[in-house]
Structure 1
């Protein structure tokens, strides 16, 4: 669960197709140089590959983005 809805015009269909938009571009620009991780914007695609039954919910009313990974 993440506080805040998806940024700008980003939709669940977009993120499932590999499109990403930074929610906090300032933090992102700093993280690129501080963290050793180089897979920026690839997390959703990797999650879908690992868990094909994953569900994404963008609740605009409560301004929360939820990811549900069902247990086997």
Structure 2
């Protein structure tokens, strides 16, 4: 995943290919994702997400992260 949007660590093009393959209407830009509603520590740049582990990608995420 992205570490920062400087120093060659921006991988939004890779993420967007995944989103496009999943036929989703959301895209990442090269700096950050923000969520004004579901945020950790009150910071919009620290979104809290739910991962559906019943999907292939969610299951893969769970197997890597626990």
TM-score (norm 2): 0.33
Q: Which has the higher contact order (CA 8 A, sep 6+)?
A: 1
TM-score (norm 1): 0.32
Higher strand proportion: 1
